[in-house]
């Protein structure tokens, strides 16, 4: 039909389709926000909510206390090990100095150094005792850390037991919550799809058709695309079932419309030529001629053949001669393309001009 439209009309239609797409884009953005925020109507459920409250609080406190004791024991053990290493180094250095001094004294054999020998021996013993005490402190901290780790392991085991006992109830509640949220989304998107179907059937040719088609695009996107990420495991059945139902309904409507069209064409082909031209609008006739089909029966006709003046299928006149210059022209033209003479003087072979009240048929 685009070849039968005026150039401004073509661009205006394209602009209206752009309006429809922009309108659908804004609706899709709003719908995405609404669908994405629907889970907020349900409270977040944790697995702890399905554990015995008193027992869960007791085990949680034990875990926290054991973790604190373990961390404290680990820190104290690091300090004790640091002191132990320092004590060992001090003793090793003192022992080396003592051995060197003893070797020197053995070489000189001086009796006046006996007191100093005793003093050095006592100092070395004190360093050895400090090293022993540091080692004992390390072992004590290691024991505390082991006790804390074992207590934490017992608390973790108790918590895991509580977790296993509550998991089944929590999962059942999660499935129920997912189903409710899915039903919320379905309750929002399914009516949109039904409204879109009604608009397609009743309003797609109205003056507000850009907004009608924009809403139809939005409803289809919201149901078949926007709803998909939120479908539960069994939610896909809903989408496919609705798709099957819509396909059957639309397919049946298309079959019925096609049968009505065939019956209408048969009735029109049985009418006289003049009456058929009265029922054909000017734009419809031009659009069908631009497609290379007969305006009356819509069957393919070789319009470029100069020997064909009538449709070989339904008999409607396609070409005649201008009464002024005898140029061969289309019977549906309002003016002769050679001399510009109006064709209004031939009512039996020319369609009536469309009035302002005639609805334009869109193919």
Would you place residue 230 in the very low, low, confident or very high pLDDT band (cuts 50, 70, 90)? low
Say how far apart CA 280 and CA 361 lie, in whole Å: 9
pLDDT: is 233 or 25 the higher one?
25
| Per-residue confidence (pLDDT) for residue 124, from 0 to 100 | 80
Shared domain check, 145 and 102: yes
Q: In this predicted model, what pLDDT tens digit does every residue of 278-290 receive, in sequence order?
A: 777 777 788 788 8
In a domain, 10, yes or no: no
In a domain, 6, yes or no: no
Shared domain check, 170 and 52: yes
In a domain, 9, yes or no: no
Would you place residue 363 in the very low, low, confident or very high pLDDT band (cuts 50, 70, 90)? very low
In a domain, 329, yes or no: yes
Domain span including residue 296 = 272-363
Would you place residue 361 in the very low, low, confident or very high pLDDT band (cuts 50, 70, 90)? very low
Joined together, the tokens standing for residue 174 give 């999660």
Q: 156 pLDDT exceeds 50?
A: yes
CB 91 within 8 A of CB 127: yes
Shared domain check, 246 and 291: no
Count: domains in the chain:
3
Would you place residue 234 in the very low, low, confident or very high pLDDT band (cuts 50, 70, 90)? low
| Per-residue confidence (pLDDT) for residue 8, from 0 to 100 | 66
3-state DSSP helix/strand/coil % of the chain, to nearest 5: 70, 5, 25
Three-state secondary-structure class, residue 328: strand
Shared domain check, 300 and 209: no
Q: 211 pLDDT exceeds 70?
A: yes
| Per-residue confidence (pLDDT) for residue 209, from 0 to 100 | 83
Compute how many other C-beta atoms are within 10 angstroms of the C-beta atom of residue 177.
Answer: 15
Shared domain check, 329 and 294: yes
Shared domain check, 166 and 65: yes
| Per-residue confidence (pLDDT) for residue 85, from 0 to 100 | 86
Q: In this predicted model, what pLDDT tens digit does every residue of 105-155 receive, in sequence order?
A: 665 555 555 677 777 788 888 888 888 888 888 888 888 888 888 888 888
Say how far apart CA 36 and CA 242 lie, in whole Å: 22
Would you place residue 344 in the very low, low, confident or very high pLDDT band (cuts 50, 70, 90)? low
Joined together, the tokens standing for residue 20 give 């429809």
Would you place residue 160 in the very low, low, confident or very high pLDDT band (cuts 50, 70, 90)? confident
In a domain, 133, yes or no: yes
Shared domain check, 165 and 117: yes
Shared domain check, 164 and 53: yes
Closest to 281 in 3D by CA, of 187, 357, 168: 357
pLDDT: is 238 or 76 the higher one?
76
Say how far apart CA 152 and CA 320 lie, in whole Å: 103
State if pTM tops 0.85. no
Would you place residue 91 in the very low, low, confident or very high pLDDT band (cuts 50, 70, 90)? confident
Q: Which residue has the tokens 């604190």?
A: 68
Q: 260 pLDDT exceeds 80?
A: yes
Would you place residue 352 in the very low, low, confident or very high pLDDT band (cuts 50, 70, 90)? very low
Q: Which of 254, 269, 284 is the last residue of a domain?
A: 269
Shared domain check, 177 and 60: yes
Closest to 205 in 3D by CA, of 360, 63, 81: 360
Would you place residue 252 in the very low, low, confident or very high pLDDT band (cuts 50, 70, 90)? confident
Shared domain check, 305 and 352: yes
| Per-residue confidence (pLDDT) for residue 202, from 0 to 100 | 82
In a domain, 81, yes or no: yes
Average pLDDT value for residue range 252-263:
82
In a domain, 73, yes or no: yes
Phi/psi for 137 (5° steps) reads -65, -40
DSSP string over 306-323: TT--B-TTT--B-EEE-T
- Return mean pLDDT, the chain: 77
In a domain, 7, yes or no: no
Would you place residue 233 in the very low, low, confident or very high pLDDT band (cuts 50, 70, 90)? low
Say how far apart CA 16 and CA 8 lie, in whole Å: 12
Shared domain check, 251 and 171: no
Q: In this predicted model, what pLDDT tens digit does every residue of 178-200 receive, in sequence order?
A: 777 777 777 877 888 888 888 88
Q: 345 pLDDT exceeds 50?
A: no
Q: Which of 121, 148, 182 is the last residue of a domain?
A: 182
Shared domain check, 174 and 52: yes
Q: Which of 182, 217, 239 is the last residue of a domain?
A: 182
């Amino acid at each position: 039909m685009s070849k039968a439209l005026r150039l401004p009309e073509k661009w205006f239609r394209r602009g209206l389709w752009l309006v429809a797409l922009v309108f659908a884009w804004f609706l899709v953005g709003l719908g995405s926000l609404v669908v994405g925020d629907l889970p907020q109507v349900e409270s977040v459920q944790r697995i702890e909510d399905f554990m015995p409250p008193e027992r869960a609080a007791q085990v949680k406190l034990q875990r926290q206390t054991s973790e604190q004791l373990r961390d404290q024991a680990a820190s104290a053990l690091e300090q004790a090990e640091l002191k132990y290493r320092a004590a060992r180094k001090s003793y090793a250095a003192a022992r080396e100095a003592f051995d060197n001094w003893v070797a020197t004294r053995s070489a000189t054999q001086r009796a006046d150094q006996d007191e100093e020998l005793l003093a050095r021996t006592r100092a070395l013993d004190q360093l050895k005792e400090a090293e022993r005490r540091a080692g004992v402190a390390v072992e004590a901290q290691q024991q505390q850390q082991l006790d804390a780790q074992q207590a934490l392991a017992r608390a973790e085991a108790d918590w895991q037991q509580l977790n296993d006992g509550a998991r089944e109830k929590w999962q059942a509640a999660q499935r129920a919550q997912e189903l409710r949220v899915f039903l919320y989304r379905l309750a929002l998107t399914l009516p949109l799809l039904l409204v879109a179907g009604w608009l397609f059937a009743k309003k797609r040719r109205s003056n507000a058709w850009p907004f009608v088609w924009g809403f139809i695009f939005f409803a289809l996107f919201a149901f078949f695309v926007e709803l998909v990420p939120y479908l539960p495991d069994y939610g896909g059945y809903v989408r496919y079932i609705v798709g099957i139902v819509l396909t059957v309904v639309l397919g049946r409507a298309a079959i019925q419309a096609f049968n009505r069209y065939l019956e209408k064409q048969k009735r029109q082909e049985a009418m006289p030529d003049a009456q058929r031209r009265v029922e054909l609008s000017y734009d419809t006739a031009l659009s069908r001629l631009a497609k290379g089909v007969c305006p009356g029966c819509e069957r393919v006709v070789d319009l470029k053949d100069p020997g064909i003046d009538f449709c070989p299928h339904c008999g409607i006149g396609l070409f005649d001669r201008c009464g002024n210059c005898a140029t061969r022209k289309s019977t549906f033209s309002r003016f002769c393309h050679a001399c510009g003479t109006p064709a209004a003087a031939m009512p039996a072979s020319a369609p009536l001009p469309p009035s302002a009240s005639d609805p334009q048929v869109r193919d």
